[in-house]
A and B are shown apart, each in its own frame.
Chain A
């Protein structure tokens, strides 16, 4: 169960045997090749050599490597909110999300010596947190999966749309500048059934290709495509009332 729930008495730090020191590293990752995203390193950035640590991150990294307790605390405090937001989006459950974030930090700290500093620390941690959340997702017993069917388009017997699609407000993308609109979209993603939400997050948000998404989730590429298409259709249904006409 979660190590950091409000209800749990006496939280104990949990060992994380699934992750080995140095498991998520840029160097090992590069050697293996072809799995650039999977183990957390931002190899796009590495290969193009266009991203480097800013001064603040470089100092923080040096202090972490020197074993400064305050650096560990600063890192955990600085990055936990956004890593937790990512893990929540994938796992849809606070306890599991907090477990994943703890796993991610422990894994990242074990791999610090191999972190070359050519990708941003925040990006590196983000990828590790996504992996930790996916690992937890795979191990979690599948709860009763809610059906996506009510969110898919309906058709008459002759194959016409029962509720004909209408155009969205031409300013639909611009209104995303408003935080409340972004929150509407994120909540809609959160509302997708888990199997579909996960595929949409990996393909459309995290930018993995079909093959890598299939590997991450242990399903076929055909399943990824089917779920992605249904997830997008369902999300479109959920967003339609907000973006149709001037509703946004």
Chain B
């Protein structure tokens, strides 16, 4: 297995979709190739970091666009939802 093939199969490996034999070949390559270990680790970190960065649902500092707020409220009124 080459580095290219290992990286091609990375998602399947992480999703535990590789059969026993290709999984063993995959792990043997990892054993011998620190660069692929680094790739695997940083790929995993990418997933975790992107999740964490978006998980913080911080309130955007900006004010809501006034035109949008007005347009929504007029539409709501037009549907007769408010008193």
Contact = CB atoms under 8 A, between A and B. Distances in A.
Given A14-B71, A182-B53, A72 B3 contact: no
B48 A173 contact: yes
Contacts of B2: 155, 158-160
A109 B81 contact: yes
A36 interface: no
Interface residues of B, number: 49
A218 B43 CA distance: 27
Contacts of B4: 155, 159-161
B46 interface: yes
A236 B43 contact: yes
B47 to A, nearest CB: 6
Interface in A105-120: 105-106, 109-110
B25 interface: no
B39 A82 contact: no
B5 A159 contact: yes
Interface string A66-89: 111100110011001110110001
Contacts of A14: 71, 75
A82 B59 contact: yes
A4 B71 contact: yes
Interface string B22-37: 0000000000000110
Contact of B42 (A76, A165, A204): A165
Nearest to B64: A80
Main secondary structure of the interface of B (DSSP, over half): helix
Contacts of A155: 2-4
Chain A contact patch, size range: 35 or more
Contacts of B76: 72, 105-106, 109
A168 B40 CA distance: 11
A73 B81 CA distance: 12
A166 B60 CA distance: 34
A243 B36 CA distance: 17
Nearest to B7: A153
Contact of A239 (B38, B46, B79): B46
16 contacts: A11-B71, A13-B75, A67-B83, A82-B57, A84-B65, A105-B72, A106-B76, A159-B5, A160-B3, A161-B39, A165-B42, A173-B52, A185-B54, A189-B53, A225-B11, A232-B46
Interface of B: 2-5, 7, 10-11, 35-36, 38-39, 41-43, 45-54, 56-60, 62-65, 67-79, 81-83
Given A6-B67, A81-B63, A161-B4, 11 more contacts: A3-B68, A13-B72, A14-B71, A76-B64, A76-B73, A81-B62, A109-B81, A165-B36, A165-B42, A168-B42, A243-B42
